[in-house]
Amino acid sequence: MADLQLDAVTKVFTERDGNQITAVDDVSLTIEDGEFLVLVGPSGCGKSTTLRMVAGLESISAGQVRLGDTVVNDSKPKDRNIAMVFQSYALYPHMTVRENMAFGLQESTTMPDDEIERTVESAADMLGIEELLERKPDDLSGGQQQRVALGRAIVRDPEVFLLDEPLSNLDAKLRAQMRTELKRLQNDLDVATIYVTHDQTEAMTMADKIAILNDGELQQVGTPLECYHEPANLFVASFIGEPSMNFFDVTRDDSRLVHDHFRYDLSNETGDELASAQGELVLGVRPEDIDLQSTPDGAHTYATVVDVVEPMGNENNVYLTIGDEQTQTFVATVDGMHHVEAGETVYAHIPESAVHIFDRQSGHALRNRTVESTTIPETKL
């Protein structure tokens, strides 16, 4: 068992007309033994390419991938001691479940047949697919195929477990169930895992550590709650969280932030903190941090008109407009029992403690919301 390290890993594709496209740009990551890292980002951000470079399915243009102390850049996939679960599962359709699971052991080890048999059966037992061993993949449901694909990876007893959007072909309910199951399984196996997804919910719920990629560049690496509460930049702030963070383009005018439709006064404390932050900024606030009040009460409260209400049962997503032209919209998440209706005028309170400030040019976070350190619970199981 060993740590997996990516050191300034870069992937450049050369197109037929000679154009060079950098799919992965200078990505450095460390995945400790037993750690569950989720690589998340929008489609085309280079997350799958990164995973494929670790797997050895894609050559590495620059940088190093190390497993323990060994550089594996030029090793073939089979010499890397990794196992991978594909989005499409890639089960061999002409083999039974048993044969699918045994294939890797037969090809990559000298393990005797009876031992392979035992290993396959214990993995099947672990995943609850013993009854399916003699079936062909075509006879299985999506969830069962998913388990077989996991089983095929588990039997190899790999040092690194790679999962490429493994839940994206499942329906929503099964996906939620498999999320917990996968997390528990990874915890039991205690193997370094890279999990690629574009779904921020999967990232938040499963990861020990999230790495967020955009345009081939690493944006932030941190625990899910760090990424949520202390986003490094505008991209992370907008990508993590559902509904996503509200942003207002503002300019700094001494101790206040000026928006086209409102002004936001900064306390002395915050003003000092943001001493260097001048000119064009972005004010960000998460929907759940906005309070809706029926009467204006206190500072940082603004009159808004309810545009649309999305009832979720436990909570309502309330889309609000501010200003006469109703050009700026934003969303607040309120308790499901809190009754508001479209067209109503409500007062939105944006507490200063929940406000994020970003530099509009670079996108860097200049100030993140204040979080009591005790409010971030330990995520390790």
Partner 1 sequence: MDSLRNSLRRLNPLSETATEQSQGTQTQGSLAGRLRDSDFVESMPFWLPPTLLVLLFVYGAIAWNIAISFTGWSGLGQPEYTDLSLEMYRQLPADQNFRASLWNTILLLITFTGSSLVVGLGLALLVDRKIRFENTFRTIYLLPMALSFVVTAIFWSWMYASNGVINTTLNVFGLDLLTHNWIGNPQFKLAAVIVALIWQFSGYCMIVYLAGLRAIPDEHYEAARIDGASTLKLYWRVIIPQLRSSTIGAVVVLMVFALKAFDFIYVMFGTNPGRSVDILAVTMYREAFSSSQWAYGAAIAVVLFALALTIIGPYAYTQYKRGAL
Q: List contacts with partner 1 (CB under 8 A).
A: 55-57, 76-78, 82-84, 86-88, 90, 92-94, 103-104, 107-109, 152, 156
Taking the CA atoms of residue 105, residue 108, residue 110 and residue 112 in that order, the dihedral angle to the nearest 10 degrees is 10
CB of 163 to partner 1, least distance (A): 12
CB of 93 to partner 1, least distance (A): 6
Give Dmax over CA atoms of the chain in angstroms: 77
Question: Which residues are CB-contacts of 66 (< 8 A; sequence separation ≥ 6)?
Answer: 4, 5, 7, 72
CB of 79 to partner 1, least distance (A): 8
Spell out where 32-148 has E strands: 36-40, 62-67, 70-71, 82-85
How far separated are the first and last CA of the chain, in Å rounded? 20
The bridge status of strand 315-322 relative to strand 301-311 is antiparallel
The bridge status of strand 315-322 relative to strand 280-285 is unpaired
CB of 92 to partner 1, least distance (A): 6
For residues 156 and 183, which CB has a smaller minimum distance to partner 1 in the complex? 156
CB of 53 to partner 1, least distance (A): 13
For residues 54 and 334, which CB has a smaller minimum distance to partner 1 in the complex? 54
Mapping DSSP to helix (H, G, I), strand (E, B) and coil, where does residue 84 land? Answer: strand
SS3 content of the chain, % helix, strand, coil (to 5): 30, 35, 40
For residues 43 and 375, which CB has a smaller minimum distance to partner 1 in the complex? 43
CB of 226 to partner 1, least distance (A): 32
For residues 152 and 175, which CB has a smaller minimum distance to partner 1 in the complex? 152
For residues 110 and 314, which CB has a smaller minimum distance to partner 1 in the complex? 110
Cα 9–chain centre separation? 20
For residues 167 and 210, which CB has a smaller minimum distance to partner 1 in the complex? 167
